[in-house]
């Protein structure tokens, strides 16, 4: 099964959809389903079923060790990965709750790495993916939006971390919560 660890922001799906509506109409942009909005703490990839118990134990320890109580997460502002010159992902940033997300990410990565998962190959930047960009069509419009637009999606109370299975389909990924880890 293909797994990732996340903080879900599903109550903000209308705000995420409104942020996507402001993106330029470019054939190269593939919008993410707003109902699937989340902040990824760690992408684990394909995980064999026999590793599930060790993973659950590691995530329980990670969430406990992070020492994060329930907190408010607010989203706003546009950004892109990997750079404004070469855009592959358009995202909404985290305005409030970034320190808590970073502590959770660090604890999750420490515990999952200890049981054999690879660490992330990039710095952690808390965000919610809005769209993926397949090619340069529409790049100038995205660049202008990132530079000029203000964005306030809203806030949500975070009370748990989720282990989520992602099944890839022709219509996009389908997510299913496998486990929950309360803060």
Report, as residue numbers or ranges, the catalytic residues: 38, 127
State whether the Cα torsion 109-2-36-63 is positive or negative.
negative
Q: How far apart, in Å, do the first and last CA atoms of the chain sit?
A: 25
Q: Within a 10 A sphere around the Cβ of 145, how many other Cβ atoms?
A: 18
Q: Which tokens in the block code for residue 104?
A: 């959770």
∠ CA 41-87-34, rounded to 5°: 50
Q: How far apart are CA 20 and CA 120, in angstroms?
A: 27
At CA 38, angle to CA 36 and CA 42, rounded to 5?
A: 120
């Amino acid at each position: 099964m293909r797994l990732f660890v996340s903080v879900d922001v599903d109550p903000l799906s209308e705000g995420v959809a409104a942020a996507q509506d402001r993106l330029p109409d470019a054939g190269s942009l593939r919008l993410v389903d707003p109902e699937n909005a989340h902040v990824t703490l760690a992408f684990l990839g394909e995980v064999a079923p026999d590793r599930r118990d060790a993973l659950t134990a590691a995530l329980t320890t990670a969430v406990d060790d992070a020492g994060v109580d329930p907190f408010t997460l607010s989203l706003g502002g546009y950004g892109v990965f990997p750079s404004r010159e070469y855009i592959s992902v358009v995202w909404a940033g985290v305005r409030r709750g970034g320190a808590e997300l970073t502590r959770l990410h660090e604890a999750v990565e420490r515990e999952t790495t200890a049981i054999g998962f690879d660490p992330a190959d990039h710095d952690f930047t808390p965000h919610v993916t809005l769209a993926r960009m397949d090619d340069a069509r529409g790049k100038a419009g995205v660049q202008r939006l990132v530079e000029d637009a203000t964005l306030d999606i809203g806030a949500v109370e975070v009370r748990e971390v989720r282990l989520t299975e992602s099944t890839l389909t022709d219509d996009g990924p389908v997510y299913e919560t496998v486990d929950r880890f309360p803060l």
